[in-house]
Amino acid sequence: MFEMVLKEGAKKALDGQGIYRDGWLFQNKAEVLPLQAADFLAWEALHYMLKVYLPDAKERERRSYRELNEVPMDAGFHNRETQRDWLAHVKEREAGRK
């Protein structure tokens, strides 16, 4: 998804969003800091999407995922359409700051 966003010419708009080319790659855990809270949330969200949200035969939502969602945050899932909408919003906001 991030590659698609960058291909659509949004590099400047995304600079302030913490998204940059190859910035989302997994690194060797022997060479980087241990897991962070965002890593747990990302894993739980992936598990939720693959096992609960997308399949026809859905598993039960994990308690750990429910507990993470008790923390105030703006959670959601993106597809190509929502990613493009988000990118348009970022570009529009950045254009208004000039």
pTM for the complete prediction?
A: 0.47
Q: Express each pLDDT in 52-67 by its tens digit.
A: 988 899 999 999 888 8
Distance (Å) of CA 10 to CA 1, 16, 81: 13, 11, 16
Q: What percent of the chain has pLDDT over 70?
A: 66
Contact assessment for residue 75 and residue 66, using Cβ atoms and an 8 Å cutoff:
no
Q: Is 69 exposed, middle or buried (0-12, 13-18, 19+ CB in 10 A)?
A: middle
SS3 label, residue 28:
coil
| Confidence class for position 71, pLDDT limits 50, 70, 90 | confident
